[in-house]
Amino acid sequence: MDRTAYARRLRQNQTLAEKKLWALIRNRRLAGFKFMRQIAIDRYFADFICDMTAAKTTTTVAPTRWSGSDTWS
C-alpha cells in the first residue's frame, strides 16, 4: 500500500480522541495555526502536525494503536 492510501485509511479510521482533537484544531481554529493529519515522517506517520515558521509541532494521539512494547529514549 502506498503512503497516500495508508494515510487516507488512517484518517478514515480515527479514534474518538483523534476525532475530538481534529475538531478543535482544524481550519486554523487553534491560534491561527494550520494543522495537517497523518503526515509521513520517514517510515512513521504523525497523527497531527503543525508546520509553520513560528511553530513546528508534531502530535501523536492514541498510542494504543501500536502493538508490542515500545521503548522511548
Query: What are the pLDDT digits (tens) for 7-50?
Result: 888 888 888 988 999 999 989 888 888 888 888 888 888 888 88
Q: What pLDDT was estimated at residue 24?
A: 92
The three grid cell numbers given for residue 73, joined into one nine-digit string: 529514549
Question: How much is the pLDDT for 48?
Answer: 87
What values do phi and psi take at 56, rounded to 5?
-125, 105
Q: What are phi and psi of 13, to 5 degrees?
A: -115, 45
Residue 23 confidence (pLDDT):
92
* Residue 71 pLDDT: 47
| Long-range own/partner contacts, residues 64-67 (CB < 8 A, 24 or more apart) | 65/15
